[in-house]
A = this chain, B = another copy of it.
Amino acid sequence: MTKTQTAYDELMRMSKEMTIVHSIASVLGWDRETYMPKNGAGLRAEQLAYLSGSQHRMLSNPRVGELLAEIEADGNELTLDEAANVRELRHQYDQATKVPVELVEEITRVSVMAHQTWVEARRTSNCFIFQPHLGELIKLTREKADYLGFEDHPYDALLDQYEPGETTANVTRLFNALRTELVPLVQAIADSPVRPKTDIVHRSFPVDRQRLFGEGAAIAFGYDMAGGRLDTVTHPFCTGIGPGDVRITTRWNPNFFNEAFFGILHESGHGLYEQGLPADAFGGPVGDAIGMGIHESQSRLWENFVGRSRDYWRYFFPRVQQAFPDALADVSMEDFYFAVNAVEPSFIRVEADEVTYNLHIMVRFELEQAIISGDLAVGDIPAAWNETFERYLGIKVPEDSQGCLQDVHWSFGGFGYFPSYALGNLYGAQIFAAAKQAAPALSEQIASGNFQPLLAWLQENIYSQGSRYRTHELLARVTGQEPSHEPLMDYLHAKFGELYRLS
């Protein structure tokens, strides 16, 4: 065995151990949100702190740096996957070692207090009690960005944590192009005299039937229950623990069909990606998802591009009608399809429709940049939020709990995370368009409840690739283009132009 190969093997053994520790923390995180008794919270915090400390110690072990340097000095003999593992471990090692441990601990310490205060601030819609903690977190996050390093904008350093290699300039360009087309579309829809009968989805939908129907829909996509499960939580999520264990969650609303059902489709989209990752590469980065944007593209693709399509309801409407005869016996497929696609500017991001959702993200992206660059003082955030929000969405924020206090992210210093949500929508549109081009029969397949060809295509082109390629390269290989707003806008114009009969 060559010296490089020996070093690589040792590095991968260390990576495998870190991955196992991460997967253990995932089980504990899932349990905390699902079944942990209330009084177990204190011990759980200690357990998770121990595991994250372990992970950090393992990743920032100088031996990792030595091995990386040794391999990089003579990397010619690495295979594609080996090179990808080294590339991503280098990125993780740099992230873990550039920031002093004291600063990481300080951010954790302040986050605990900030989170508690944020919960109370949101409950009472009182920005003032959150501001001192938020101010401190912003200061520490800026220090962190300086340590991480950047070329153009400190926000680049933060973005890079969730979207390796992404830049503020590129996201700005994409979002600007998107907004230019999106704002007039939202306006045209608002001006349309055509309105969906949204009361249809606000009737009585018994939860036990919702569970059966929702699980069935996830299984129909190909989500594997032998390697997964569906549980009830307050804030739905998907946890990929590792090969053979990917769990999704939802919450139930007996008087609103969309909440649990599209939530399940969304999380099963994440779940399909996780279940499709290359199990034989588990332990190294290649066995893991490449970034939040691609992850979100898959939840959005299955939730919206498939699950909110007319094709989908051609097959599923008779079935949903049978599952909920009291609510839907007198409803037509077209009315139902329109009702689950209603567009209405609203204040809460997580409840936003397909068209307005990205505008919610742009508000946050614009503000976060100003916050991190220092152009926006913490005391001015509420006013800036309300002004930007009205400019983008055309409605006035009535109180901060429905404005700048609604999201959890800032309370743990998660600046730079939001853009991934909108990038996911763009990537999802791009990937779905490519899938359609590759399989001209896709519409008919979906309309006959056959998702296997789409899943197989995504499996081959996206899921099984893991972190082999960075996001832009993966997109270019799969779709032939760089990230673009056009496929999403083409899709939105076609779909909502028809629904709202826009000229």
Contacts and interface: CB of A to CB of B under 8 A. Distances in A.
A43 B241 contact: yes
Nearest to A227: B39
B243 A37 contact: no
A276 interface: no
A115 to B, nearest CB: 20
B229 A42 contact: no
Contacts of A50: 17, 20-21, 24
A241 B40 contact: yes
Contacts of A224: 39
Chain A binding surface SS class: helix
Contacts of A282: 43
A86 to B, nearest CB: 23
Interface string A6-23: 000000000001001101
Contacts of A27: 27-28, 31, 47
A37 B226 contact: yes
Nearest to A231: B35
B47 A20 contact: yes
B244 A35 contact: no
A41 interface: yes
Contacts of A375: none
Contacts of A245: 36-37, 39-40, 43-44
Contacts of A24: 24, 28, 47, 50-51
Contacts of A228: 37
Contacts of A20: 46-47, 50
A416 interface: no
Contacts of A43: 23, 241-245, 282
A284 to B, nearest CB: 15
A228 B36 CA distance: 8
A38 interface: yes
Nearest to A225: B37
Copies in the complex: 2
A8 to B, nearest CB: 21
Contact residues on A (Cβ < 8 Å of other chain), bracket? 35 or more
Task: Output the residue of A43, A44, A225, A227 with the most chain B CB within 10 A.
Answer: A43
Interface in A204-252: 224-229, 231, 241-245, 247
B229 A41 contact: no
A314 B243 CA distance: 53
A244 B37 contact: yes
Nearest to A35: B229
B31 A244 contact: no
Task: Output the residue of A24, A35, A225, A242 with the most chain B CB within 10 A.
Answer: A24
A35 B227 CA distance: 11
A55 to B, nearest CB: 13
A227 B41 CA distance: 10
A33 to B, nearest CB: 13
A61 to B, nearest CB: 15
Contacts of A225: 37
A275 to B, nearest CB: 9
Given A27-B27, A27-B28, A27-B47, A244 B21 contact: no
B47 A23 contact: yes
Interface in A47-74: 47, 50-51
Contacts of A229: 35, 37
Contacts of A227: 37-40
Contacts of A244: 37-43
Contacts of A35: 34-35, 229, 231
A27 B247 CA distance: 16
Contacts of A28: 24, 27
B37 A247 contact: yes
Given A24-B28, A27-B27, A27-B28, A226 B47 contact: no
Task: Output the residue of A37, A231, A247 with the most chain B CB within 10 A.
Answer: A37
A227 B37 CA distance: 5
11 contacts: A20-B47, A20-B50, A27-B27, A27-B31, A37-B227, A39-B224, A39-B243, A39-B244, A39-B245, A43-B244, A43-B245
Given A21-B50, A39-B243, 13 more contacts: A31-B31, A34-B35, A37-B225, A37-B228, A37-B244, A39-B227, A39-B245, A40-B241, A40-B242, A42-B243, A43-B243, A43-B244, A43-B282
8 pairs of A and B residues whose beta carbons are closest in the complex = A40-B245, A39-B244, A39-B227, A43-B242, A40-B244, A20-B50, A39-B226, A38-B226
